[in-house]
């Protein structure tokens, strides 16, 4: 029984969308199985080309608490998570990436503060893969979350605007415990067109629909940083789809003027990255007629592009000087 006097054992399904995570999928699954509040761990293998699916199925043969579903073609995290939601039945669901893991006790701590909320997210702990088991992970938000506090739409959207010369601390990286009834009531699922920023779109839409979202200090979600992380690789199409989600959110009813302004700020921040890729493509193709257009998108985009060009010039100059010094 929890401190709230409610039964908490077996009330959470953990959803794991995994692609080519054979080296870490067992660690992820076992960390979730170690939580008594977890009913089932539902693994959707997104058409991996390695042993991810087989390793998950091997654990599934040991316990009826692991459900494994293999997709025939790679559809991205949104499609995989939607399939996991379809297969789940617990009153709460929690997201776990295939290369991450829970520390013992995380689920119980989240449930202990979940009364009255639809989403409960703790600060993410991050560590390099090579340091797992050798060093303590560091909180991503840190002092920005000193105690439990309610997260609103405006704060969330602005909390996903990347800042230059700062470590990535976007609120979209959070992995909350989610009340299933809220998702079903609003027919909420992940945007299938997104392979980047699917969490941002999911949480922002939920908040716009009135979700009560609690954010707490770190309770034990460990995000393992990798040089080959999918979240670190974006195509221009990926960024355009993420940017245009703000247009869809902007037409939702009941957004205040401040909330609409927050969306515009986020839109321009993502658009700046889109335009930078357009500038790079124009340079590579030597199509200089297309080079000027990105600079006229907005003053914010123009400044971003100018700073990126200066940064690129400095990097190239440094590499050239290094080559000359070694020659």
Angle at the Cα of 121 from the Cα atoms of 34 and 168, rounded to 5 degrees: 110
What CA–CA distance (Å, rounded) separates 230 from 49?
15
DSSP string, 257-321: HHHHHHHHHHHHHHHHHHHHHHHHHHHHHT-GGGTSGGGGS-HHHHHHHHHHHHHHHHHHHHHHH
Q: Where are the beta strands (DSSP E) in the chain?
A: 12-18, 38-45, 66-70, 92-95, 101-102, 119-128, 138-139, 149-151, 177-179, 213-225
Residues β-bridged to residue 37:
none
- According to the model, what pLDDT value does residue 2 have? 45
Q: Could you identify the residue written with the tokens 């991205």? A: 76
Which domains are seen in the chain, by residue range? 12-228 (3.90.550.10), 236-326 (no CATH)
Q: What is the mean pLDDT of each run of 10 residues along the chain (327 residues)?
A: 59 97 97 97 97 96 96 95 97 97 97 97 95 92 86 95 66 95 97 95 97 96 78 81 96 92 95 92 83 87 89 71 53
User: Which pLDDT score, from 0 to 100, does residue 315 have?
Assistant: 75
* Model pLDDT, residue 233: 64
The pLDDT value recorded for residue 146 is 78
Per-residue pLDDT at 5: 46
Exposed, middle or buried: residue 227 (CB in 10 Å: 0-12, 13-18, 19+)?
exposed
């Amino acid at each position: 029984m929890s401190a709230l006097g409610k039964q908490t054992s077996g009330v959470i399904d953990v959803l794991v969308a995994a692609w080519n995570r054979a080296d870490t999928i067992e660690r992820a699954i076992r960390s979730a199985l170690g939580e008594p509040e977890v009913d089932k761990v539902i693994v959707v293998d997104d058409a991996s080309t390695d042993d991810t699916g087989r390793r998950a199925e091997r654990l599934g043969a040991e316990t009826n608490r692991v459900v494994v579903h293999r997709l025939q073609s790679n559809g991205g995290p949104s499609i995989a998570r939607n399939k996991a939601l379809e297969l789940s039945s617990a009153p709460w669901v929690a997201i776990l990436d295939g290369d991450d893991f829970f520390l013992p006790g995380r689920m119980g701590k989240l449930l202990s503060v979940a009364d009255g909320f639809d989403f409960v997210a703790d600060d993410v702990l991050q560590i390099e893969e090579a340091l797992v088991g050798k060093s303590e992970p560091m909180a991503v938000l840190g002092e920005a979350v000193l105690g439990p506090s309610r997260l609103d739409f405006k704060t969330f959207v602005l909390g996903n605007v990347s800042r230059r010369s700062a470590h990535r601390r976007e609120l979209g990286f959070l992995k909350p415990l989610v009340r299933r009834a809220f998702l079903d009531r609003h027919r909420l699922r992940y945007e299938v067109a997104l392979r980047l920023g699917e969490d941002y779109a999911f949480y922002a839409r939920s908040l716009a629909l009135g979700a009560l979202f609690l954010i707490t200090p770190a309770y034990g979600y460990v995000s393992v940083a990798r040089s080959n992380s999918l979240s670190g690789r974006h195509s221009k199409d990926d960024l355009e789809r993420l940017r245009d989600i703000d247009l869809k959110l902007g037409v939702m009813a009941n957004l205040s003027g401040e909330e609409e302004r927050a969306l515009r700020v986020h839109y321009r921040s993502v658009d700046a990255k889109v335009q930078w890729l357009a500038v790079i493509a124009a340079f590579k193709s030597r199509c200089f007629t297309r080079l000027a257009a990105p600079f006229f998108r907005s003053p914010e985009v123009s400044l971003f592009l100018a700073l990126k060009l200066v940064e690129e010039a400095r990097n190239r100059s440094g590499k050239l000087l290094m080559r000359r010094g070694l020659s």
